[in-house]
Structure 1
Amino acid sequence: MSNQRLWALAPLMVLCLAGCGRDADKAGPDGVAAPSNQTLAAAIADEGDLDTLEGVVSNGGLSEVLEGKGPYTVFAPVNAALGTAGSELAGEAMKAQSAALLRAHIVPGALTRADIEAALARGGADGVQMRTMSDGLLTFSKDGDVIVVTAADGATARLTGAETVVSNGVVQPVDGVLVKAE
């Protein structure tokens, strides 16, 4: 092929390579999908099994925080886990309790399940601990293939469902509330 034809094909090859790069931008070096453009608040609002939590977020006045820069990981109790507690936390009189419950379920940083699994593999039998936004301590451990989260007061939950990686963190659905009812 002559040099003239190669130069004529060069723009077409550049376009083809640029198109191939788009999918690569969506995945990180480990092949995990890149975060969506959503925020934590939007992801919670969009997930049908987190409707009750969305109400608690709104009542607790933390919508702006979950729309903000982050990153945070929200261990998000599903509807069944919150049960009647979600409706009990409604209203102006329960704003502080709503905010306190949420802060007990939020840790700084974006933690995927792969991150937690890797930390557990390094951490040994005692598990791995992280501080929440309420200065509580969460301990992560394994029960078979399931990741279990235990709060300092003994409340436990299991990571369940699919995590959602967003622009300002990660939503990790859990099947329990990480604060014992008083």
Structure 2
Amino acid sequence: MRNALLAAPLPVALALALTLSAALGLAACSGKQSPAAETASETPAAAVTPASATLPEVLDDADGMQTMAEALKTTGIEGVFNDKGSYTLLAPEDDAFDALGDKGKALIEANDHAALAALVRNHMLTGYMTPEDIAAAIAASKTGKVTMPTLGGGTVTFSKTGEAITVTADDGSQATIEDSPVAGGSSIAIPVSGVLRKI
């Protein structure tokens, strides 16, 4: 399962993530914020304290993140977070999965986990990025948007309206960044208000 996760999309993801990192000085795989991100972030809420536990373990104890935590276990993707690589997980809150109704319930409870694994991969980005890093990248962009590849082979585009950061998937589904991120190991999860894939 882990080999399938890190198959074809990873080289593309690495290339584009490193391009963004070079432009903004993001230390994506080190877990350190760039000077640009630190400048954009002047409030205590910007600080993210990594935990000694892995990200899936942290999510398991996080309020409103139980569905995503369970999806990581069910699909076997949680094992990826035991490696040295860094990832950013755009983690739909439990309410986002509940809003999918019967289709979402069928996806979570299906015996074949391929569709669920694909959905999870489309919420994963290569590198460690905080919302402040993303905001700094948007501010530095000439278009006011930043597009990044997911490990599922798709893309997500970040933009800002006022202080709110919106995430748009390549199929048109949208979500906003909600609440504070949580970190575990060398990875980070950013809560989002919706599932970034039409079911």
One fold, TM greater than 0.5? yes
Equivalent residue for 2:195, pick from 165, 174, 177 = 177
> Is 2:135 aligned against 1:120?
no
Shift of 1:162: 0.8
Contact 2:48-2:182 at 8 Å conserved across structures: no
Give the corresponding residue for 2:84: 69
Letter in 1 for 2:183: V
Shift of 1:92: 5.9
Describe the superposition over 1:108-136 as per-residue Cα deviations: whole angstroms up to 9, x where unpaired. 00010111011011013340010000111
Give the corresponding residue for 1:14: none
> Is 2:122 aligned against 1:104?
yes
Q: Distance in 1 between matches of 2:166 and 2:87?
A: 19
> Is 2:56 aligned against 1:38?
no
Letter in 1 for 2:119: L
Percent identity, aligned pairs only, is 34
In the alignment, structure 1 segments of 5+ residues that lack a partner are: 1-26
Equivalent residue for 1:58, pick from 63, 69, 73 = 73
* Number of aligned positions between the proteins: 155
Q: Distance in 1 between matches of 2:168 and 2:113?
A: 25
Contact 2:171-2:198 at 8 Å conserved across structures: yes
Q: Which structure has the larger Rg?
A: 1
After superposition, residues 80-99 of structure 1 pair within 5 angstroms as 80-83=95-98, 84=101, 86-91=104-109, 93-99=111-117
Equivalent residue for 2:174, pick from 136, 142, 156 = 156
Contact 2:51-2:58 at 8 Å conserved across structures: no
Shift of 1:98: 1.2
Q: Distance in 2 between matches of 1:136 and 1:78?
A: 21
Q: Distance in 2 between matches of 1:33 and 1:44?
A: 14
Shift of 1:69: 2.3
Indicate the RMSD between aligned Cα atoms, in angstroms: 2.1
TM normalised by structure 1 equals: 0.77
Q: Distance in 2 between matches of 1:91 and 1:52?
A: 11
Letter in 2 for 1:153: D
In the alignment, structure 2 segments of 5+ residues that lack a partner are: 1-31, 39-43
Equivalent residue for 1:167, pick from 177, 180, 185 = 185
Q: Which has the higher contact order (CA 8 A, sep 6+)?
A: 2
Shift of 1:70: 2.3
Contact 1:137-1:152 at 8 Å conserved across structures: yes
Q: Distance in 2 between matches of 1:80 and 1:66?
A: 24
